[in-house]
Amino acid sequence: MEKASYTDMWENLNLDIEAHEGLLEVLGKFYGDIYMSQQGRLQGMEYLDFVLSEVHGLRIQELVEAKEQGRKIIGTFCVFVPEELTLAVDAIQVGLCAGADAGTEAAETVVPRNTCALIKSFIGFKMAKICPYTESCDLIIGETTCDGKKKAYEAFGEMAPMYVMEIPQRKEASERALWKAEVMRYKEELEKLTGKTITAEALKKSIKTVNDKRRALQRLNTLRAAVPTPISGRDVLLINQVSFYDDPIRFTNSINTLCDQIEERIAKNEGIVPEKTPRLMLAGCPMAVPNWKLPYIVESSGAVVVSEESCIGTRNTRDLVDESAETIEEMIDAICERYMKIDCACFTPNDERLENIKKLAEETKVDGVIHYSLMFCQPYTHETFKVEKALADAEVPMLAIETDYSMEDVEQLKTRVEAFVEIIS
């Protein structure tokens, strides 16, 4: 990253320049080790390398310029926030989930120690003043998907402009009514923030934009299922991570270009790994940038990741909004319907998730599943038991891993993953 040209911008965003430089240095080294060391990567990944190298530079500059033009920046932590509405008021939506241990000590002065690493991380990034995304936001949207986030937003709201959506916990008629009321409330909030009224035309267009992004990622997920797999799991995770903060149209075009290259590779029967390489699915908690720990361990242990069942993965891309609606009312209903298909562990029961995992395991021809839970994430840790049972019924081996963002357990995890890979080989 060109430090000189961005330092003023970061200062204007009130970042702690020294701490931020330290973060970028670690991030750069980490990225070099985990990503740039890979052999035989697709040419289209250069775009992702560029985006990542400019994650706190060029993209932030774009946000700053957009703000100068009067556009608003909306931060999110969850796939339940309807980007369709955000785009329909010409605002920009960026994901704020964070995947690195930073500011943890400060975070633990406002949330309990027994809080998952993702929550401590976004609070820590804020308190340490090292996240230019958080600092660029005009409004940050929280949601009630888990106790940890729900209550952490109360503390976070004392530091940042916070707005919380309620996500229901069942999917019956009265919960769907609540969800629709929440979607409408979000629409009104956006209209108030921007002074714009969402038109049918704008909403129709933004529904298509977000669907196109999902379609590109669906295409990628279908292509990577080839044997041998043409792309590493690390690279696809990175793509999913970038999908949360890159410009959606530019991102979609880049992913489609990459998919063209993948098709060529598949036509030549080429893979990123040998055909017999054990294929794994990662299922469970989201892995936010730069949380590449587990995929790196897996892919350094003789296996390859071919599917990510998580919010930063298929949970965010599997379902499209119906595009046939014409009126605002119909489009809102279509949006509500689509988001209520999300198989988040916040729902009880959440049996769809078990079906979706089994289906994805079959479609991506996996030899096993690693269920990944962030320590203290109660919803996904509870579902580990159910997923294990469902996969056992389908005769798919599963390994349950519970970890955080520290590097202390890397060797231990590597030993467990290697043993698992050996069993399923």
Half-sphere exposure of 403 (CA within 13 A, CB side): 28
Tell me the closest approach of the beta carbon of residue 199 to a copy of itself, in angstroms: 25
Interface residues with a copy of itself (CB under 8 A) are: 110-112, 114-115, 144, 146-148, 150-155, 164, 166, 168-170, 173-175, 177-178, 181-182, 185, 345-346, 348-349, 375-376, 378-379, 381-386
Tell me the closest approach of the beta carbon of residue 112 to a copy of itself, in angstroms: 4
Q: Give me the long-range contacts of 414-419 (CB less than 8 A, separation at least 24).
A: 414/297, 414/300, 414/301, 417/297, 417/298, 417/301, 417/303, 417/370, 418/301, 418/302
Residue 47 vs 376, nearer CB to a copy of itself: 376
Q: Give the closest residue to 137 by CA, choosing from 52, 8, 13, 241.
A: 13
Half-sphere exposure of 233 (CA within 13 A, CB side): 32
Tell me the closest approach of the beta carbon of residue 417 to a copy of itself, in angstroms: 20
Tell me the closest approach of the beta carbon of residue 142 to a copy of itself, in angstroms: 9
Residue 169 vs 209, nearer CB to a copy of itself: 169
Tell me the closest approach of the beta carbon of residue 299 to a copy of itself, in angstroms: 27
Residue 21 vs 108, nearer CB to a copy of itself: 108
Q: Say whether the peptide bond before residue 228 is cis (omega within 30 degrees of 0).
A: yes
Residue 6 vs 153, nearer CB to a copy of itself: 153
Residue written as tokens 């990510």?
308
Residue 246 vs 404, nearer CB to a copy of itself: 404
Buried b (16+ CB within 10 A) or exposed e, 247-258: ebeebbebbeeb
For 75-99, the DSSP string reads EESSTTS-HHHHHHTT-EEEE----
Q: Give the closest residue to 319 by CA, choosing from 331, 335, 333.
A: 335
Residue written as tokens 């308190």?
127
Residue 150 vs 414, nearer CB to a copy of itself: 150
**The two three-digit tokens of residue 146, written as one number:** 């888990």
Tell me the closest approach of the beta carbon of residue 371 to a copy of itself, in angstroms: 12
Tell me the closest approach of the beta carbon of residue 382 to a copy of itself, in angstroms: 3
Residue 39 vs 174, nearer CB to a copy of itself: 174
Beta-bridge mates of residue 402: 373
d(CA 179, CA 176): 5
Tell me the closest approach of the beta carbon of residue 108 to a copy of itself, in angstroms: 10
Cβ(106)–Cβ(128) under 8 Å? yes
Residue 121 vs 144, nearer CB to a copy of itself: 144
